[in-house]
Structure formats: structure tokens, C-alpha cells
Structure 1
Amino acid sequence: MPQWLNKWNAIGAKWLWWVVLVGIVAALPVMYARVQTETSADNYEIVMDYRDLLQVSSTQPNPQVFVQEQLKRLKDAGVNAMTVFESTLEELGWAGEINVYNATQAALLEGKLSPPEDNATYVVFNQPGDETTLRPIIEQAFARHGAAVTNWSIKGADGLRIDMGYDDALLRPMQPNPLAMKMLKDEGFNLVPRLSDRFPSFDAAEVDRWLSSFQTLGVKYVLFDGESVTGFGEGKKFDNLKTFSYSLKKYGIGIGMFENLKVPQRGAAKLANFLGYNAIRAHSVGEAEMTVIKKPVLEDRLILAVKDRDIRLLYLNAVAVKDTLKGKVSQPLDNIIDVLQGEEDGSKGVIAQLHDFGYDVGEPSAFKVHHAPQETLLRGLTMLAAITLVALTIGLFAPALLVIALVLGYIGGAGLYVVAPTLMVQALALVAAICAPTAAVVLLVKKLRTLRESASSPISVSRRIGGALLLFARTTVLSLAGIPFIVALLNHISYNLVLQQFRGVGLLHLAPIGLVALYVFLYGGNNTVVGNAKRILAMPLTVLWIVCLGVLGAAGLYYLTRTGNSGQVSGLEMQFRSILENTFGVRPRTKEFLLGHPIFFAGIFLALRYRWGSVLIIAGTIAQLSMVDTFAHIHTPLLLSIIRVLLGLGIGLVLGFILIAVWQILEKLYGVWLKRSGAVL
């Protein structure tokens, strides 16, 4: 390597950290703008599925009275909205507005046998005054479904004959029932229509007419039912979505998007983009879940959805089930009401607890996006600093490559940003998130080696505790430097709405640990990296080593299953999490306060005297990267993530001091045992 390049690398390693600091400072206004965005919409809506309510009422002796009673109870409990699906003949039957018959039943009503060739569906209107509203809806819908509709009557009651099989006709969608919507509006509920993409073709004029009627009823948001949003299923997908978005914007209506679906509804992200992100996130507790979920679990789930994940629409379902143990039909409405308003023992319900956190039931609104002054320039400085951090981390492992990595990073980053800006910022956010804790811990290991080698005698316990505390603080601050890069680089409302996400969570959870372990075992000592590698590879492989590797592999596999939003959690841990949430209001991450921070702090203390203490530092790296990963959950409010990290640090340090105290006691006892046995310590 040329001498001049070594010189520049040495000088650069000292001054480039100032570039990183400039990038962190530049990111702070962007972080503040994100906080402003997240606090711009604090109302949330509790929505009950009206179709489910009708279905439950069909099991009651007087369905209409039951519906009215439950609507009042739900309203008093805090439910402020009802969702109304595209109506079906079955749903209109549950509501008591029509009777639906197959051909055999219709023939019996007329006192004759049904002709074998007749498999039509017959409808009778129960309320003559409602016929003028429902008849055109049924006629228009089945015309779109390709079925002829003709007049039919029985015993003086007007009706319709639909040229479609009974089972098929019951399922065909129609316009949301305007009679039900008006009734619910009069009862004081907000309305959230739920539309589908199940019609044979997208009829822009028909959908526009629906939206116009929705606006009259004060509708602000619509949800979607099925695999895709309205208008997606045609050949010219984007054209239909654009047309649909024009109508939505004309009537001031946004969209709600369900989280954690197995497959996201197709077209939702594109439609949200067309709407300028006039969208809110929704959380649904499914029908099957609602029949078995325990009250405390449901309560925690609803609170965490609003507080921790920017959910602004809580969607509740109910279904009647045959309870063979109790010998009756049961439904979850009583549980829902108890969870929302609290129970008779005086415990607070979901609504009261969320109010304490600053969230109130009301008409939700999309986040109002705030931007920092000169945000483009600030994000540009952050990108340069992030690339610099990556180059500095590379320089810790290969000092000769520092300047080369820096130059290539600037050129490659600029080129990728021109070609694929989204890919560039996502990749840079991931690499910066990996490099911050990696560089922090590697610098810690180097410092510990220097302190051990320069010490002429063993460092006293008090100095080791003080040194461990200072080194822990320094390392933590440097690890946290990765946070501004994630926040600034991915500061876009599409990340808050989880239409885009931080990519590479699994790699973030593995790479820093692997790189720190690589540095601990291969760097340092009298040998070169290659020499250390050869020495390790030449070590005899014993049964003990095989067992240790197996345990490490199993632990690593379990660790990976716990990363990301899909990690598996046991019932016992759910209870533990609930206790933490109720105790602190914000749950610190278990891997930080209970595992990573105590081991890391104790590892620093031990590494000031024993070389093997670095092994604990490798394990404790979990907490350093986990703090950064906390902010990769961009749908979690920034202030809440900050509190979560600070709680983890505080509790983790206390547990770390306890570990050190336990070690000191054991070390004293071991020393006493050695003296009594005649050995020399």
C-alpha cells in the first residue's frame, strides 16, 4: 500500500467522525418534523361491524329489538362508528327488510309445485315504504351481474324474481344499504362503508354516485373487503384506480388500510399514493379471534394498536357461535363492552386508558405531514454522513481501504440515488443501522485491550466499575448514532402507513454480532488476521466444542424467530409483557433490559481484567443493535421509541450492577475456597 495512502487513511480516520456528527445534527430537524407529523392526528375511531350485529340478531327471538338495544349499549360504551358492507340479499333478510325464497319455497307460497326448470330466486319487500329505495338497488346490481330481474308478487306483497340460483344470488354484492346507513347515522354513529372489487366490471359513474351519497351522510373514510381495492381487478388497473381516486378526492373521502393481513390488499398502496396519502391504518380483531380472546388480551391489543402502531381505526367483529359446553348460542358483545368501558370493579377500560396517553375517541384524520426547513439539503447531508460512517466501519477492519471505501461509497451512492432513490435510501439506512453498533462495540474492544495492556497492575474494583460505566455510556451514544440516519433517510409518510418498510431486519440482528465476534477473535494479539484464523482452525475439535456450537446454533435460530413483527411469543411472555406495559406505560424490550444491557455492562467490567470478558461483550451486542432496531419500526411513534430505549438502558444498568455484585461475591468465595484448599489464587 503506498505511503501517501496510509497517511491519508490515518488522517481521515480522525476527521471523518466530524462528518458523521454533522450528519447527525442535520438529521435532528427532520426527526422533530416526524414528531410533529405523528402528533397531528390523535383521534381514533372504534368501528363495529354492522353486518355481524345483524347476523347475531338472527339468533335472537326479536332481531330488530335486539339490534336497537345493542346499538345503544355499544354507543354508550364508546363505539362511535359502524361499518356497512356492500349489501346482499342475505343481509337485507337479516335486517328484516326483505324475505328471500328459492323456487320451491316460492311455489309453496303460491300453493303449487315448483317447475323443475325453475331455479330462480324470489324476493318480497316487507316494508312497502322501503321498496322504492331497495328495488332499484337490487335491479341495478343484478343487471350488472348479468341476471334478468322481473316483477313478482305473492298474496298482495310486491316482490322480484331474479334469474339466478338461490345460493348464488344471496352472495352477490349490491350498493351499501342506504336505509341502514341513514338509521345508523340517526343513531349518532359515524359511517365507514366497506367496498369490494367483486362486480364484473368497474362502473365509474355508479361508484361516483355511491360516494356522493356517502358524502351526504358524512362519510370520511372507506374500507375494502376482499383481496383488492375497488377498481383493481380490471386490465387497466391504474386507470381505474386513478378514476376511483378522483371521485374519492372530489367527495373528501380517504381510505383505511388493515395491518397484518397475510397478503396486503392489492392496489391499496397505489390508491393511497393517488390520494396524497389521505389514509389511516386499521386494526381488526377477527370474528374467530373474538369468540375466544380473553378480556385482558383484547384490552392490551387495542391499546397497543393505537399507542404503539399509529392505528387510528379499531375494527371489532362479533359472531354468534353454538356453545356446546353451556348449551346455548353465545356472542362476544358483552366482552367488547366491558373491555371498552371498564368493569364494575372500577378498572379502567380501553377508552379511559388511551385518554391517559393523549388519545381520544372521535373522527380520525390522516396525519398532516410536516417537513423540516430545507429538508432536502438536511437529508443530503445525512446521506453523506451515513456513507462516511460505513467507510469508517470498514476502516476499523481494513484501515488501508478507508479512503477507497469512502470515495466508492460517495460515487456509488450518488449513482444509485439517480437510478433507484428508494432502493438507495433503504439500503443506506440498513447499512448505517448495522455499522453504528458494530463500530461502537469494536472501538470499545480496542479501548479495553489498550487499558488492559497499559495497566501495570490489576485495576481496582471501584475503577473498573467507573470505567465500565463511562465506556458503556460512550459505546451506547455511538450506537445510538445510527438512529438519526434511519429516521432522516426514511422520513416519508408511506413508512408511517407501512406501505413501505425498513428492509433487512434479520441482517441487522445478525451482522453486528457476527462482525464484533470476528474482530474479537481474529484481530489483535501478535498474529495477523490470517494467523489468528489459522490458529483457530487448527484447534482440536472436542465433544465440548461440538456441544457448544450446537447450543449456539439453537440459540441463534431461536433469536432469529423472535426478530421482526412476525416473531413468535409464548403465553407466559405475553403476560410478562402486559405487566411491564401496565407498570411503565411503555414496555421496554426484553432483549435489551433483561439480557443485552446487563451482560454488556458486566462484560465491560470483566474485560477490564479478563480477556474472556469480551465474549460477554459479543453477546451483549444484542442490546446495542436492538436499540437501533427499535427505531426501524417507523410506524411506532418516535417519542415512544425514545422512552422505550431509555427505560431499557435504566433497568438494564441496574441489573448489570446486580450481576457485577453477584460476580464479586462469587469471586470472593472462590478465593476463600482456594486459600482453604492450599492453592494460590
Structure 2
Amino acid sequence: MKINPRWFWIITLLAVIISIPWTYERWNTEVSNDNYEIIIPYHQIMELTQHGEEDTYSIDEVLSSLKSSGLATVSMEPGSIDKWEEQGFFNVYTKRQIEELIFFNNLDEDLLFEDEGIYISVPEDPFYIAKIQEIFDTVDIAIGERNLIFVHQDKDEGSVRYAPLGFNQSAIEQVKNHDLNYILRLKNSEPNINEVTFNEFLQVYDKDRPLVLFDGKQTIGHSEDSEDTTELVNYSQRLADNDINSLFIEGYQQDGFDELSSHLDYDVIRLHSINVNKTSKDEDEIVSQAIRAVKERNHKVIFYNMANTDPQEPNGKFVEPAESLKEATDFITDVRAQMPDLYSYGPPEPFEYFSPPLWLTVCVLLGSAAFAFLAVRSFANVKISITALAVIAVLALLYIFTNRLILLQAAALLIAVLTPIFAVLAPEKNSTDKIGKLTLTYLKSIGISIIGILLVVGLLNGSEFILGLEMFRAVILVYIIPIAVITLYILVKVIKDSKLPKEIKFSISLDKPVLYGHLLFFVIFIGILVIVALVGDYYLDRSGNSGTASTLEISIRQKLEELLFVRPRTKEFLIGFPLYILGLYLIGAKKTWGIILLIPGTIGFLSIMNTFNHFHIPLYISTLRTVYSIILGYLIGLFLIYLYKKRKPILRFILSLLKRIVKLIYSTAKRWT
């Protein structure tokens, strides 16, 4: 069956062109949102006044110092019996401790309550006892010379000790006196406790910073019963009615947050948390981490957890208050000084909400179906190509009737997987040893990648994606499948080449029997190539945010960022694209083994696709990074061609060695069978 691909190209390009205004809307939304701020939690500020042998501070001294360094906002957590005890406002005794007190002092055993509960010494400040009495059933009692308050508990002790009991308004006033903004945190608890805490929240939240940050692993109102969302919807609506936005902690799962944010029309600000107690990075690296979070990951709030000053704290390092305060002020000062001028220090706002209309998504799905046909046609027959088209067409129909986001994600995944394959294999027939024509072939591959990227961006476009609330699924497949498919395609092509050993060429002839040894050879050879590619990719990836890197690598990366604003990916400009350029040249020069270089060359194309699959990274950052990789990769590729021309004997020896390895693998497999 012969099908003219022209119409498929027309459909694909029309879909891309139609989607560009909405892609630009995302671009403009990200660029215009340029404010960022740093937040420090109030309870850590208070700890500086409670610990340490060398220096002691007052709250006013700490707040004044942080304000002078540039801090604008602190977070305020709701109090609890446990926290207030830790801060020294009163003592808490268990029932067992009271039993021992009565026994050893020969007191009346009738003073001991039969009910489960805890005993609290009467605090000097009536604020704390008033809060406890507002939430729990309490009884005043005197045991010996001690005036205590008994707090009943219906469940385990933790439900009483750790329940949120409202906000310290005197602390809030103290923060305001230093001309600092504050953000209140809400913690999920029992329904009656939630209601009391939330009502107080609405009374005392900072009208100049109408934000909420949730504390713990659940948003307020979340129920363990997944079908019971009444309370969650109630609090979401009340937040929306008061125009209160929410902070989203990246990398920290809070149950119920996705639904709550949808009720807030995604009026959400991304937050990046830095905990100096849980990192081995030095001060400069921590500052660089914060800057990259703002610049490269759409974070608008940096939540700085100060160094631990409590010697009794089991986790993290311990430092003196003076050192912790200095680290915090230096961090704030350095981040503000080193942050690019593109960003302003000030109260950030949520991204302006946007979502592409259904008709646009359907158009992009149709374009994706046509693109899938063209991509599969570059390495398979027409029937398989039509199957790929049909898969996306079915996904499109299902999406129209169900509006399920996972269907768009499935279609985007298919395009993301096919694009690097198409980009590498489609221009392969145009390989040449002429630099001018080679450059055009390279640009054709880049053009195919850009079309695939725009289709994926067009499919998964909207506020929920740029906020990172919805992610691109199964990213690992974008790394594995293109390399596996291209390896298999090229292996068959290489084996058919007459310059290879006759027994290998014989093994794939359709009119000859295929021996188990031949099959084992294929499996071993493909496995080696895939493993080498994945190991190399892992090595290059390890220097990312979650990996480790040498001091030299970190220094080079930092210099590249300072010079280029954003660092291009090493695996693209230093590995993938240069080897692809060299491979095209060697194929054009009639060097059979040149086609093998297209396998590692695939890494460059799948990497730039993966770059744009991270939707929480601003489009302009991904675009700039990719442009750098394309240009640098091209230049390094030309340099490799130059080396090939000047150092042919060395390269000839390497290629000869590869041939010998292939022969050895095959002969070994043949002997086994």
C-alpha cells in the first residue's frame, strides 16, 4: 500500500500552527511572573532564643537581624500542647507520672482521674490555657502544691498533644511590628478542631499576603474516605471566597491538595524547601540551589529551614544560635545579590490561570495522529504506521467523551517516544560527507524534534502542568524505547552490510534457517548497546539536582550558568549531537560503521524532548538550554569530523576493534548452541 505522506505533513503542521498562540500564552504567563521571596518559619526563629551557651537572643533581635538582611516574610504555625511544652510555657504529665507522684507523696488516690488524659501545669500566660479549654474538655485540679489542668482524650495521647490549637496573636503582632509579612499554616485534624482553627485563621491571616501553607501530609478537610470530600470542598470554597491563595511544596505529597487547588482555580504558588540540616552542600551550593529553583523550576517562594540549635534534636547537625543566624542572613543576602536581574524580590503572585479549549486539544490530537503515522513510517511498514495513527485517534475520541487527562498523557507519551526515533531515522538516507548538506540534514532532524515538542506542549498545556500538579508520566520510556528501537533498526541494517562477516549476514537472510546461536547473538549485542547507552545516560544525569557531582564538575556547571544564564545539558551538546553529526558524515563517506554512532546520537534528541516534558520548567528556559545544545553540539560535531580526517589511523583501529568484538560475540554464541 502506497500512501502520499504530504497530507499527513499538512495536517501535522496545521495543528502545530493552530496551537502556537496557546503555547505563547504559557510563555508570556511564565515570563511576566518574575517576583520571588524567601520565607523562614517563626518557630525556628524562636528556637534561637531558647538554646545555645555562647550567645542568647531575644525574638526582637533575631527578627531585626533577618529583616536587615532582606527577609520579608515568616511563616506561623498553629500552636499545640506539644509545641507549647517544647517552648517552655508549661509542663505536660502523663497519667503514669501522676500515679507515681500520688504514690510517692502519700496523696489521696481519688485525685487521679479514671479517664484517659494528660495533665498540664497552669501556664502564666492565660492565652494558652484558654486555647486548650476552647478545644478540649478540661478539669482544674490541685495535686499537693501543684495546680494542674486535666485534659480528657477520646483516642490516643497524640490526638490531644499534637492537635492544632490556633495562632499566637501576640507573636503575630511582634512580627508585624518589625514590618514583616506573615503566612499562616493550617494542619488537618478532627472536624471540630479544624473548624475552630480555620475560623481563627480567617480572622488573623495577613491581608497583605493572602496565602495559606498547609502543614503535614494532608490539606485541611482531607478525609481518609476518598469519596468523602465534603469538608475539603467546604474549606476550599471558603478560601476562594476570601481570595486566599495556596503554596504548593514541590516534592512533598499532601493528600487532598490537587482537588483543593482545582477549587481555587489553580491560584497556587510553587514553593521550594531548603533544609540545611539535611544536606551536605556547602553555603555556596545552597545559594545556587535556591537561584536555580527560582530561575529554572518556576518556584516563587524559597522556604529556608534554619540550622538546628537544639542539642536534644535527634536529627540533623547542631550549631550555636549565632552561627545559625549568620548562615540565614548570609543566605538571604547572597541569594538576593546573585539572583539574575530578570527576577524581582517581592511578594509573588499565582500564575494567571489558563487552559486550552477542547477544540484546540482535538486539533492537536489529530495532528499528533498524523505525526505518529509519519514517525512510525520512518522505520516500519504502512500497516504498523496506520496502527499508530489509529491508537491516537481512539485516544482522541475517548478524550472528547470522557475528558480524562490520562488519555492526553498517553497520546503525549507516544509522541514523545516516537519523536527522537523519527528525528534520527528520517534524515539518515540523506547522509553526506558534504558539510553544507550535512548541516541541512541536521536541521531537518532538529525540525522534526521541534514539531514533536510543540505537539506534546500543545497536548499538555495549562496551569496544572506549569505548576507541576500534573506531570508527564512514564518519562523513563522516553529514554529506553527510542534507543532500543533505533538499536534494533540499525543492527539489522549493519548486519545486512556486505562488509560484515558472511556468517552474520547469513543469519538474517529470510530464506535461511535462524539458529539459536544467531538469536542469542542478537540478544547479547542489543543488550550490550542498550546497557551502555543507559549507563552513560545515568552517569550524565547523576550531576542533576538529585545526583552527586565532583568539585570540578560543579565548578564548570557554575561557570556555564554564569556565562550562558542557563546551562545546556551535557549529554546533548557533548555526547548526543556531536556523535550524530559524526555518524551522518561517516555514513555519507561510505563508512558502514558510521551508522552505529546514530545510536548514542539518539541521546541528544530524546534528551531535548525530555527537557520540554518537564512542564514546571519555564518554556523560555527549556528553549534557551536547547538552542545552546544544538549550536554547541553542531560545532563539536564538526570538530570530531576534523579529528577524523586528521586522525584516521586511530579511528580505523577503533572501528576494527569493534568489528572484532562483534565477531567474538557471534562466535561465542554459536559455540554455545
> TM-score, normalising length from structure 2?
0.82
Matched, 1:440 2:423: yes
Counterpart amino acid of residue 416 in structure 1: L
Q: Which runs of 5 or more residues in structure 1 are unaligned?
A: 1-5, 342-348, 452-462, 673-681
Residues 421-475 of structure 1: per-residue CA shift (max 9 Å, x gap): 3122111111112222211211122223xx6xxxxxxxxxxx5222322211111
Which residue does the alignment assign to 2:637?
656
In the TM superposition, 1:311-326 aligns within 5 A as 311-318=299-306, 319-320=308-309, 322=311
Structure 1 SS opposite 2:295: helix
Residues 399-429 of structure 1: per-residue CA shift (max 9 Å, x gap): 4327844763464133321235312211111
Which residue does the alignment assign to 2:451?
481
Rate the CA distance shift 1:154–1:80 in 2: closer, same or farther, 3 A: farther
Residues 293-319 of structure 1: per-residue CA shift (max 9 Å, x gap): 311111111111111111122111122
> TM-score, normalising length from structure 1?
0.81
Counterpart amino acid of residue 18 in structure 2: A
Counterpart amino acid of residue 659 in structure 1: L
Distance 1:670 1:277 in 2: 56
Tell me which of 579, 583, 607 is aligned to 1:626. Answer: 607
Structure 1 SS opposite 2:411: helix
Conserved 8 A contact 1:506-1:560: no
After the TM superposition, which of the residue ranges 579-588 and 556-565 deviates more from structure 2? 556-565
After the TM superposition, which of the residue ranges 299-308 and 41-50 deviates more from structure 2? 41-50
Distance 2:506 2:462 in 1: 45
Which residue does the alignment assign to 1:465?
435
Which residue does the alignment assign to 1:386?
368
Matched, 1:639 2:620: yes
Conserved 8 A contact 1:561-1:567: no
Conserved 8 A contact 1:517-1:618: yes
Distance 1:304 1:380 in 2: 35
Conserved 8 A contact 2:40-2:304: yes
Rate the CA distance shift 1:636–1:202 in 2: closer, same or farther, 3 A: farther
Conserved 8 A contact 1:479-1:628: yes
After the TM superposition, which of the residue ranges 552-561 and 467-476 deviates more from structure 2? 552-561
Q: Which runs of 5 or more residues in structure 2 are unaligned?
A: 498-504, 654-673
Tell me which of 493, 502, 509 is aligned to 1:531. Answer: 509
Tell me which of 591, 595, 607 is aligned to 2:587. Answer: 607
Counterpart amino acid of residue 566 in structure 2: V
Rate the CA distance shift 1:385–1:544 in 2: closer, same or farther, 3 A: closer
Structure 2 SS opposite 1:125: coil
Which residue does the alignment assign to 2:411?
428
CA apart distance, 1:390: 0.6
Which residue does the alignment assign to 1:495?
465
Counterpart amino acid of residue 588 in structure 1: P
Residues 600-634 of structure 1: per-residue CA shift (max 9 Å, x gap): 11111111111210110121011011111110000
Distance 1:395 1:203 in 2: 62
Conserved 8 A contact 1:31-1:487: yes
Distance 1:646 1:276 in 2: 34
Tell me which of 353, 357, 363 is aligned to 2:338. Answer: 353
Which residue does the alignment assign to 1:75?
67
Conserved 8 A contact 2:165-2:193: no
Structure 2 SS opposite 1:99: coil
Distance 1:212 1:533 in 2: 80
Rate the CA distance shift 1:558–1:666 in 2: closer, same or farther, 3 A: closer
Which residue does the alignment assign to 1:570?
549
Rate the CA distance shift 1:327–1:31 in 2: closer, same or farther, 3 A: closer
Residues 197-240 of structure 1: per-residue CA shift (max 9 Å, x gap): 1x333556424412322346544111122221111135463101
Tell me which of 496, 503, 518 is aligned to 2:488. Answer: 518
Structure 2 SS opposite 1:658: helix
Identity over aligned pairs, percent: 24
Structure 2 SS opposite 1:631: helix
Distance 2:184 2:637 in 1: 53
Conserved 8 A contact 1:562-1:569: no
Which residue does the alignment assign to 1:135?
129
CA apart distance, 1:635: 0.1
Structure 1 SS opposite 2:601: helix
Residues 273-308 of structure 1: per-residue CA shift (max 9 Å, x gap): 111112111111236326x43111111111111111
Distance 2:614 2:360 in 1: 22
CA apart distance, 1:163: 5.1
Rate the CA distance shift 1:56–1:404 in 2: closer, same or farther, 3 A: same
Distance 1:316 1:275 in 2: 26
Conserved 8 A contact 2:16-2:454: yes
Which residue does the alignment assign to 1:245?
236
Counterpart amino acid of residue 50 in structure 2: S
Matched, 1:305 2:293: yes
Which residue does the alignment assign to 1:66?
58
Distance 2:131 2:410 in 1: 51
Structure 2 SS opposite 1:311: coil
Conserved 8 A contact 1:191-1:219: yes
Alpha-carbon RMSD across the aligned residues, in angstroms, is: 3.9
CA apart distance, 1:377: 3.5
Matched, 1:296 2:284: yes
Matched, 1:364 2:352: no
Matched, 1:408 2:399: no
Conserved 8 A contact 1:54-1:94: no
Counterpart amino acid of residue 90 in structure 2: N
Counterpart amino acid of residue 605 in structure 1: Y
